[in-house]
Amino acid sequence: MCTNPPVPPPLPSLDLINSSEISKTTSLINKNYDICQWALEPELREACAINSICLDKPPYQYKYKHYEPIAQVGPTCGLVALAMLFKGDVRPDELLNMVKAEGFSSNGEMFSCHNMAKLTEKVICLTEKSNVRVEVRQELYREETIQELLNGAALLVAYDADCNHSPCLRHGHTAHWALVCGIIVIEEPKEDYSADPNNTYILCRHGKSKYLAVWPLAQLDSSNKNLSEFSPKKKEDGLLYILPDGGMGGERGLRNQFLIVKGL
């Protein structure tokens, strides 16, 4: 297993493409049925066409689950990602009341992966979902995680968001949560699945875009592993934020941790 793969450059993000360009791309897809014909879901087809992924032939393997986007209000990205995962069975405002009551959060911020797991378990009970399991894991970019995604698991992953919301490295200063709802393995792996960082992409939803995001899994992994400190700007914005013991980069924080949810 490659535990520290080279990170490819960021892909173009749908959030930086204006509506006219999206319209042109959609028109091109409609006229040329050879473009990403393998992708039956419209949002997946559009995302792969814009990011030039598997335009002419289907990927070796892929798995995708559709979730309706939900826009976040305030620093509630983790709550919104969780609400999307449960397809509206629980609303972000309900989750906000829950995390305030538990003392996990003041404004909706979630800087602890373990607290997110506890919240997810409460939602599983509240929605009476049977056979649904949530675990806190480490080392996102590994073959086991890829196989779990191909088998239909979903992930909740914190990362640093760039100006176009794609993963970047800012030491946790722009920490943001995403719901990983699919995966694309472009070519049959020559070694294990995690050996080539340019061969595996994940499909994501998050609260700051209505578009489906496509990022290299290795890029999201590196961003998740760099979540070491709370944003200095947020310390001065006048809001109260709740951090776990040890901070964002500690054992109860976000760095090198993510949630895997199976059974939904």
Region label for 238, one of left (φ > 0), alpha (ψ between -120 and 50) or beta (otherwise):
left
Cβ neighbours around 126 below 10 Å, total? 14
pLDDT higher than 80, residue 31? no
Distances (CA, A) of 84 to 96, 142, 167, 251: 14, 25, 20, 26
Number of structural domains, the chain? 2
Distance CA 234, CA 114 (A): 22
Residue 84 DSSP code: H
Average pLDDT, the chain: 89
- The pLDDT value recorded for residue 150 is 97
Overall average pLDDT of the 98-102 stretch:
96
Residue 7 lies in a domain: no
- Same domain as 125, residue 74: yes
- Parent domain of 112: 59-262
pLDDT-derived band at 192 (thresholds 50, 70, 90) equals confident
Residue 159 lies in a domain: yes
- Same domain as 248, residue 200: yes
- The pLDDT value recorded for residue 33 is 53
Residue 19 lies in a domain: yes
- Same domain as 78, residue 198: yes
State the angle between helix axes of 113-126 and 92-102 in degrees (0 to 180), rounded to the nearest 10.
Answer: 120
- The pLDDT value recorded for residue 17 is 42
Amino acid at 191: E
Q: State the catalytic residues.
A: 77
pLDDT higher than 60, residue 3? no
- CA 186 to chain CA centroid, nearest Å: 19
Pick the more confident residue, 98 or 236.
98
Nearest to 90 by CA among 122, 135, 131, 136: 122
pLDDT higher than 80, residue 30? no
The CATH number of residue 181's host domain is 3.90.70.10
**pLDDT tens digit sequence for 242-255:** 999 999 999 999 99
Cβ neighbours around 14 below 10 Å, total? 23
- The pLDDT value recorded for residue 180 is 98
